[in-house]
Amino acid sequence: MNNSEISFVRTEMLPEKAPPAKETGAIKWVRQNLFSGWLNILLTVLSLFAIYSVLSLILPWAFGGVWNAGSLTECREVLFSFYKGSHDGACWAVIEDRWLQIMFGFYPPELYWRPILAFVLLFVALAPILFADKVPGQLVWFSLAYPFLAAWLVWGGSVWLPIFAAFGFVAAVIAYKILSKLAGPIVANLGALAAALIWWGMLMAPISDGLHKMVGSSRFDNTVATLNARTDELPAQVAAEDALLEAKQAEIAEAVAVKNEILIEMTGIRIEEFGIEEQFEAKEVALQRLDGASESVSDLADILDEWGGAPAAASDASEVDIAKAQAAAETAEDLVGDIGSLLSGALSDLAGDTVDPSELLVPSASQADPSILEDVSSMVSKAGLEDPIAALIARAESVTTETSEADLKDLQADIETASAALGANIEALQTVHDKVIATNADALVEPQARLLDQTAILTALRDDQTVISQSKFRLETELSEGNSFLSSLQSLNEREASLPILQGRVDELKAELPRNMRNLIAVNQLPEGTSSADERLLSEYLGAKNDVLSVSASVNDTYGELGRVGLLPIDSRKIGGFMLALIIGIAGIVLSLPLGILLALGRQSHLFIVNKICVVFIEVIRGVPLIVWLFTASLLLNYFLPPGTNFDLVLRVIIMVTLFAAAYIAEVIRGGLAALPTGQYEGADSLGLSYWQSMQLIILPQAMKISIPGIVNTFIGLFKDTTLVLFIGLFDPIGLAGAIRADTAWNGIYWELFIFIGLLFFIFCFSMGRYSLHLEKKLQREHR
Amino acid sequence: MSDTTTERAINRDAMTVSDEVAIQITNMDKWYGTFHVLKDINLTVNRGERIVIAGPSGSGKSTLIRCINRLEEHQAGTIMVDGTELSSDLKNIDKIRSEVGMCFQHFNLFPHLTILENCTLAQIWVRKTPKKEAEDIAMHFLEKVKIPEQADKYPGMLSGGQQQRVAIARSLCMKPRIMLFDEPTSALDPEMIKEVLDTMIELAEEGMTMLCVTHEMGFARQVANRVIFMDAGQIVEQNEPEEFFNNPKSDRTKLFLSQILGH
């Protein structure tokens, strides 16, 4: 080979070119994505058919639904007046009627603004965390304060409580700052914990009580005066509301009457339709009987044909033949009887249950469509139907097993003629029916519109009624609570004055008590053989001590209410619905993430004890169903807590849900940690970063990024699992659906409620999923 | 291995070795489980020395230099770095780590931070340098390794050679007195090796104390003032580069050199 043949030098580099032009646009997309091969074509067609079948069922149901009705029965009335059973419709009225309850549970309606405000502020608090690059950083302070603010808004009570609770954290931070300068980090951490615990456990309650007492004493006279004035004027207001309520109820009754009139009017328009519909059944039954008779005649003819006249046993025949002949003879006898009874049955059906076409009522319809009258007159008259059958009956009576085949054929032909006439009659009736419906449909449009208007009016009236009865209930509650508060205020001085006396009695009894018994807290702790006098002394002493405690607690309560600067407290039992799901879900999410991170780090730790504690915690929490933990929270926890502690149920549920989710989050984050190359740890170590610094700055940001899908998945699961609180007696949306269905007005409704609840959950879970995708995309910096 | 050398004249005069001891390793042993990785290591490094550690893979070279900043724990003997003994005392470890810079074979840059953030992070959190000042220092060293224009990019957008130079700059930002290099060029394309070696040579010319595990024998010959040959967890031979390459004493070294320079 010559050298010049293989040597090659490129003198200029090739420029870039556009890719070859192919078919583009929608057609290419459809061909590539929907019809790229036989299997795909088949799948596409099948899927489109499946989608069509589902939507053609659901969409008319959903969009043809009723929005204004007071009960399921009313819903069905309206639906019937529109569709007359031809298709079903959704009864969305239940949502219209009860959506506030599904949202807020039994929270007082006049205070809805509090959870709503808390919900709106939630987004302000989330903004600096979720969209850190678009929001000023100072907002983080609001995010930190938000949990306390939100809890205060939802549960109400004194403003001191959230401020003091938050101050516990401030105390911890201050203690940490001071101690970390004086001693090592471990001492500083322990000191911070101790400062917070001392504040919450020992200082908070006396300071808060003192504040209440101070404010309360200064308000005492004023409050008593206002309460007196208020309780005096309240009964009149309640009576006024009562009168309003009665008037409203009368209005509603009137509106219901109008609605019923419209329904009756519509029934009147349809009366011809209903009349005709009644005609069908008798005629169709008669037609079936005639056909049966014709069949019997032909069967009889067959038997007679086979046996050559009357089936009779020949004398020389075998036993089998005799048996066959007898059976045939019996069948023939039966058939003869059937023919007669079927024919007379058909006649009586027609005679009793149908009317002569001339008597068929189509006056209003025929006015709109005169051709209906022609159709009616074209029908065979009742006599024209009945007379041939009557004649046939007479002939059928003469039929015996001896009747000739030709006669039978004749009879069958005549029966078929009669049946054909009846069939033609039915068909003509059907035509009339269709025409009547068509004309009625036009006539019904206007009353249907009026019915819708009337139901809307009714809904508005019922809403008014709800508002009035709520305000009446509020006034009544205010009255009864005012009265009881007034009486506890009036006895306040007395109770306070009795305290030193009671305390003196306690001291007296204590002095009398033998020294070794003074620390006992129950009579059954006494050693055996104690004298009954001592036992009596101890029980008196304990009783006196109890009196002091309960009186001072009641005094504190009264001062607490008197000196409250803040919002009306709301009991946890009243919090329900979607609001409850959100409270538990969001609190669980916010708290479980840091806890999960700590657990994941603990599980990776080389410190044996820490590691094993985390492993056991994660495995135990994860290995037991959430519902068991919820039951533990609601029932068992009371056994472990000191007697008399009142520990809010919602708070307990939040703690359990948080622990449960944290175990899952820990495992998800552990996966993210394991996915990081060891070089990252070494890189951080070699720069001299401490463990917590390298975790916070290097390891966790990357591990969390890897774990985002898993974390969000856990959060979505947690949020949906909040519906499980139904089983421990909290009213989550599902529990409320049960409560709504227990109402007689809405008994029997399922789909509408569950679809609405499902939609609420879907909106939140879908948003979380979308945000996680957004976050993943934003963090997709490294091109690995 | 190829002889990747720099074309320019190297200023060996600047590379003075002082009498001050930077690292003192005495009778050091290390085991991985029951496997005896490092056996009775004795090594004294003076300030300003440039030491190249060579040897077959699995001979314990990397483990040795990783012991010096306690990425690996030794079980017997003592290691003194700048007069501080390496023990399990966390305070000493963090102090030594911030004085000893380290470059890894796979760079170990932090992919979620920009180049600039990679360089300022440790200054801000360990040295408590104000952010502005830390950025100035970082830019100074990025200019030194000749990639200031990449400061706002993420590591994933850079070539291997650039990433390794960023890793060197990141270590230098902590103003270390000793630099450890753990096969800094092994993961790089031949075209990029040179740019990293040039950076290391510049560093050497400034009198930095350097311990370098590498297979770049050209670099060893030009820059090192001592070459250490290790095999089976022991120091087999150490000598000045000229003597080491031209006149190896032990048979194991001869075999190694014949294999590495033989073609």
* A122-173 per-position pLDDT tens digit: 999 988 888 877 888 788 889 999 999 999 999 988 888 899 989 999 999 9
The CA R_g of chain B, rounded to the nearest whole Å, is 18
List the structure tokens of A470: 């709520």
Helix axes A93-104, A751-778, angle to 10 degrees: 60
Confidence of residue A583 (pLDDT cuts 50, 70, 90): very high
Of A610-614, B4-8, B70-74, B213-217, the range with the lowest mean pLDDT is B4-8
Sign of CA dihedral A649, A654, A659, A661: positive
Kindly give the pairing relationship between strand B50-54 and strand B226-231.
Answer: parallel
Q: Is A698's Cβ below 8 Å from some Cβ in B?
A: yes
- Which residues does chain B have within 8 Å of residue A679's beta carbon, measured at their own beta carbons? 104, 106-108
Report CB contact under 8 Å: A686, B121.
no
Nearest residue on chain A to B71, alpha-carbon basis: A682
Residues 61-90 of B with CB under 8 A from A: 69, 71, 90
Distance, CA of A287 to CA of A120 (rounded, Å): 70
For A81-95, A615-629, A714-728, A766-780, which range has the lowest pLDDT when averaged over its residues?
A81-95
Q: Residue B1 has what pLDDT?
A: 41
- Distance to chain B for A123, nearest Cα, Å: 27
Contact A678, A659 (CB under 8 A): no
Query: Kind of pairing, strands B21-32 and B35-46?
Result: antiparallel
Q: Position A676: which residue type?
A: L
3-state secondary structure of A575: strand
CB contact under 8 A, A687 and B122: yes
- What's the mean pLDDT in B179-206? 86
pLDDT tens-digit readout, A299-350: 888 888 777 655 565 556 677 777 887 888 888 888 888 888 888 888 888 8
| Phi, psi for B51 (deg, rounded to 5) | -110, 130
Asked whether the predicted pLDDT for residue A618 surpasses 90, the reply is: yes
How confident is residue A394, by pLDDT bands cut at 50, 70 and 90? confident
Is B200 in contact with B123 (CB distance < 8 Å)? no
**Cβ within 8 Å, pair A702-B170:** no
User: Residue B185 class from Cβ within 10 Å (0-12 exposed, 13-18 middle, 19+ buried)?
Assistant: buried
B110 vs A779: CB contact, 8 Å cut-off? no
**Taking CB atoms and an 8 Å cutoff, what residues of chain B touch A688?**
94-95, 97-98, 122, 126, 174
**Which site among A686, A692, A700, A707 would you substitute to test the B interface, given the most B Cβ atoms closer than 10 Å to its Cβ?**
A686
Q: What is the pLDDT of residues A251-274, one digit of tens each?
A: 999 999 999 999 998 888 888 888
* CA dist A780 → A270, A707, B166 (Å): 67, 13, 21
Rounded to an integer, what is the distance from CA A694 to the centroid of its chain?
46
Sequence-distant (6+) residues with CB within 8 A of A436 are A272, A273, A276, A362, A365, A372
State yes or no: pLDDT of A3 exceeds 80.
Answer: no
Minimum distance, in Å, between the CA of residue A682 and any CA atom of chain B: 7
pLDDT 10s digits, A514-570: 777 777 777 777 777 777 888 888 888 888 888 888 888 888 888 888 888 888 889
Distance from CA of A691 to the nearest CA of B (A): 10
Contacts of A782 in chain B (CB under 8 A): 111-112, 154-156
pLDDT band at A116 (very low <50, low <70, confident <90, very high): very high
Check if the beta carbon of residue B180 is closer than 8 Å to that of residue B148.
no
For chain B, what percent of residues have pLDDT higher than 90? Answer: 16
CB contact B245 to A (< 8 Å): no
> Closest by alpha carbon to B179, among B43, B23, B19?
B23
Task: Please tell me what DSSP assigns to residue A636.
Answer: I
Nearest to B71 among A685, A690, A779 (CB): A685
Collapsing DSSP states into helix, strand and coil, what is residue A57?
helix
User: In this complex, do B122 and A701 lie within 8 Å of one another by their Cβ atoms?
Assistant: no
Determine the residue type at A34: L
Cα A37 to the center of its chain, rounded Å: 43
Nearest to B74 by CA among B144, B13, B27, B19: B27
CA closest to A700 among chain B residues: B112
The CATH number assigned to the domain with range A96-107+570-784 reads: 1.10.3720.10
Query: What are the percentages of helix, strand and coil residues in chain A, rounded to 5?
Result: 80, 0, 20
Cβ within 8 Å, pair A686-B101: yes
Mean pLDDT of chain A: 86
Mutate to test the interface with A, among B63, B99, B100, B125 (most CBs of A within 10 A): B125
Contacts of residue A228, defined as CB under 8 A and 6 or more positions apart, other chains included, come to A486
Which tokens is B16 given? 């003075």
Candidates B2, B15, B37; CA nearest to B223 is B15
- Cβ neighbors of B36 (< 8 A, separation 6 or more) are B29, B30, B233
pLDDT band at A22 (very low <50, low <70, confident <90, very high): low
Closest CA relative to residue B173, chosen from B211, B139, B206: B139
Q: What does the block give as tokens for A739? A: 């409560």
Q: How far is CA A41 from the centre of its chain?
A: 39
Q: Is B179 helix (H, G, I), strand (E, B) or coil?
A: strand
Q: Kindly determine whether residue A689 and residue B101, on different chains, have CB atoms separated by under 8 Å.
A: no
Single out the residue of A650, A655, A652 nearest to residue A574, CA to CA: A650
| Two tokens, residue A257 | 């009457």
Pairing mode, strands B21-32 and A157-158: unpaired
B108 Cα to chain A: minimum distance (Å):
5
Task: Find the closest chain A residue to B167 by CA distance.
Answer: A683
User: Helix, strand, or coil here: B7?
Assistant: coil
Tokens 């850079």, located at residue = B158
**Average pLDDT, stretch A201-212?**
86
User: Over 60: is that where the pLDDT of B2 sits?
Assistant: no
Q: What is the mean pLDDT of residues A472-492?
A: 90
**Residue A777 forms contact with B (CB below 8 Å):** no
Nearest CA in chain B to A780: B112
Check CB contact under 8 Å for B97 and A701. no
Question: Collapsing DSSP states into helix, strand and coil, what is residue A749?
Answer: coil
CB contact under 8 A, B111 and A784: yes
H-only helix segments in A108-183:
113-130, 140-155, 160-182
DSSP string spanning A374-422?
HHHHTSPPHHHHHHHHHHHHHHHHT--TT--HHHHHHHHHHHHHHHHHH
In this prediction, residues B60-66 reach a mean pLDDT of 90
Contact assessment for residue A340 and residue A396, using Cβ atoms and an 8 Å cutoff: yes
A688·B102 Cβ contact <8 A: no
Of B97, B106, B107, the CB nearest to A688: B97
Q: Is A683 on the interface with B (CB under 8 A)?
A: yes
Q: Which of B97, B112, B174 sits opposite A701 (nearest CB)?
A: B112
> Which of A689, A705, A779 is nearest residue B126 as measured by Cβ atoms?
A689
Q: Which residues of B touch A693 (CB under 8 A)?
A: 125-126
Give the separation between CA B219 and CA B227, rounded to whole angstroms: 11
Q: Which of B72, B88, B110 to mutate to test the interface with A (most CBs of A within 10 A)?
A: B110
Cα-based distances in Å from A702 to A674, A679, A696, B111: 11, 13, 10, 8
Percent of chain A with pLDDT over 90: 31
Cα A90 from Cα A63, distance rounded (Å): 8
Query: pLDDT digit string (tens) for A338-380?
Result: 888 888 888 888 887 778 777 777 777 777 778 888 888 888 7
Q: Give just the sign of the alpha carbon dihedral B194, B199, B203, B209.
A: negative
The whole-angstrom separation of Cα B90 and Cα B99 is 14
Put simply, whether B101 touches A (Cβ < 8 Å) is yes
The answer for residues whose C-beta is within 8 angstroms of residue A714's C-beta and 6 or more apart is: A592, A661, A664, A665, A668
> Would you state the pLDDT for residue A436?
84
pLDDT at res. B6? 54
The verdict on a CB contact (< 8 Å) between A693 and B71 is no
* Single-letter residue type at B230: M
List residues bridging with B234 in a β-sheet.
B231
CB-based contact A688 B94, cutoff 8 Å: yes
pLDDT at A239 over 80: yes
Q: Are A779 and B112 in contact (CB < 8 Å)?
A: yes
Give this prediction's pTM: 0.80
* Measured distance CA(B203)–CA(B183) in Å, rounded: 16
Residue A88 three-state SS? coil
Taking the C-alpha atoms of residue A151 and residue B162, their distance in angstroms, rounded to an integer, is 53
Number of helices (H), then strands (E), belonging to chain A: the values are: 27, 2
DSSP A573: G
Task: Say yes or no for a CB contact (<8 Å) between B154 and A782.
Answer: yes
Q: Residue A560: its pLDDT value, please?
A: 85
The arithmetic mean of pLDDT across residues A22-40, rounded, is 79
pLDDT at A727 over 80: yes
* A403: pLDDT strictly greater than 80: no
Chain B environment of A705 (Cβ under 8 Å): 112
Beta strands, E only, A493-588: 566-567
| Opening angle at CA A467, ends A466 and A473, nearest 5 | 85
Strand order in the sheet with B226-231: B100-103, B178-182, B209-213, B50-54, B226-231, B234-239
3-class SS string, A172-233: HHHHHHHHHHHCCHHHHHHHHHHHHHHHHHHHHHHHHHHHHHHHHHHHHHHHHHHHHHHHHH
Q: Is A208 left (phi over 0), alpha (psi -120 to 50) or beta?
A: alpha
Q: Would you state the structure tokens that stand for residue A126, as one six-digit string?
A: 């989330």
Could A705 and B112 be called an inter-chain contact, meaning their C-beta atoms sit closer than 8 Å? yes
Question: Which residues are CB-neighbours of B191 under 8 A, at least 6 positions away?
Answer: B161
CA distance B134 to A356: 107
A777/A774 Cα distance (integer angstroms): 5
Interface check for B91 against chain A (CB to CB < 8 A): the answer is: no
Residue B254 pLDDT > 80, yes or no?
A: yes
Instruction: In whole angstroms, give the CA distance from residue B154 to residue A219.
Output: 64
The answer to whether the CB atoms of B108 and A682 lie below 8 A apart is yes
Q: Is A129 helix (H, G, I), strand (E, B) or coil?
A: helix
Residue of A nearest to B124 (CA): A689
Between chain A and chain B, how many beta carbons pairs sit less than 8 Å apart?
A: 74
- Identify the bridge partners of residue B100 per DSSP, sorted by sequence position: B178
Q: Report the amino acid identity of residue A61.
A: W
Q: How far, in Å, are A138, A165, A185, A193, A195 from residue A170 at the CA level? A: 18, 9, 18, 11, 9
Nearest Cα residue in chain B from A686: B97
The amino acid at A101: Q
- Domains of chain A, by residue range, sit at 96-107+570-784, 275-439, 491-557
